[in-house]
Amino acid sequence: MSRRTWLLAGLVVLGGCLLRTSDSPRFFRPGSAAIDATAEDEAAPPAPGAIAIRLRGVRSEPFLRERIVWRVSEVEYGLYEQRRWIDLPAHYVERALRTRLRETPGLRLTEDPRGPTLRVDVLAFDDVLAPTHAANVALAVTLGDREHGRLLERTFNARVGIGDGDPASMAKAMGQALDDAVAQVADAVRLSVQAHRASAVDRARAEARESPCR
């Protein structure tokens, strides 16, 4: 083979290396029953006497975006190059939480600013690699209104084990952890507002007994 032929062959190989692209992104969504709820389920009317709750837009830590987060400890995080969520974790949490709040007896959603306001921040939506492989969802929650102040302030955490290294298994486990986390939030909100309402009724009755008869 001539020198020119070798040179051409080398240029072809070099060109192939330079033009080679990285693997294409792979997109996933959490396997969440709350996210997958049908529109008919979401449209079910609330029971009479349900307490109105206003859910503000869910926020998240700045690094919780489309690229999926992995974590090996409480201080070491990273982002997968190819693994992406189809939507933002904050949007998944908001959709799942709205569904769960609608399904919770004694609660209904409203846009009325006079009702108790629920604010949620996503602290974790992580593929935890160590010490055990698990999907982890953590939500910081505050509930309050203008008249009575803070009714609830807690962080809720849910973790579901991942049996293998398949990204699809991670997405399914993340959906289960999400469902668990929003269920905890909805139950805590229900207990908080019901306790607040019961306390208000007791105060009103006590004031009525103490007031002089006319």
- pLDDT, tens only, 111-147: 988 889 999 999 999 999 999 999 999 999 999 988 7
Residue of higher predicted confidence among 151 and 204? 151
Beta-carbon neighbour count of residue 88 at 10 Å? 16
Taking the C-alpha atoms of residue 146 and residue 134, their distance in angstroms, rounded to an integer, is 39
Contact at 8 Å (CB) between 94 and 122? Answer: no
Beta-carbon neighbour count of residue 55 at 10 Å? 18
Structure tokens at 145: 């209104």
Write out pLDDT tens, residues 59-92: 999 999 999 999 999 999 999 999 999 999 999 9
Contact at 8 Å (CB) between 99 and 132? Answer: no
Q: Enumerate residues 6+ apart whose C-beta is below 8 A from 72.
A: 128, 129, 130
- Asked whether residue 12 carries a pLDDT value surpassing 70, the answer given is no
CA 109, chain centre distance (Å): 18
Provide the pLDDT for residue 62: 94
Least confident of 72-76, 82-86, 97-101, 205-209: 205-209
- Asked whether residue 13 carries a pLDDT value surpassing 70, the answer given is no
* Domains defined along the chain, listed by start: 26-210 (3.40.50.10610)
Alpha helices in 20-74 (DSSP H): 39-42
Provide the pLDDT for residue 206: 52
Structure tokens at 92: 């998944």
